[in-house]
Amino acid sequence: MKVTTTNARTILPDLVKRAEQGETIEFTTYGSTKAVLISSERYERLSRNMHKSN
């Protein structure tokens, strides 16, 4: 899901719930992705994989 940073301010709790359920949330400014919200579980998995490959 892509959401503007302006819109995200008003629906952040919903976005966090969606990320917890496995959805990737992209924050955009002027149509360009600036940040991504993922669940902490997914973040931990990605972090472990990055450390293994280094």
Say what the pLDDT of residue 25 is: 98
Cβ-contact 3, 25 below 8 angstroms: yes
Domains present along the chain, CATH in parentheses: 2-53 (3.40.1620)
Q: State the pLDDT confidence band at 54, using cuts at 50, 70 and 90.
A: low
pTM, rounded to two decimals: 0.85
The yes-or-no verdict on residue 50 having pLDDT over 90 is no
The yes-or-no verdict on residue 51 having pLDDT over 90 is no
Instruction: Give the neighbor-by-neighbor strand order of the sheet with 32-37.
Output: 2-4, 25-29, 32-37
The string of pLDDT tens digits covering residues 5-42 is 999 999 999 999 999 999 999 999 999 999 999 999 99
Cβ-contact 36, 25 below 8 angstroms: yes
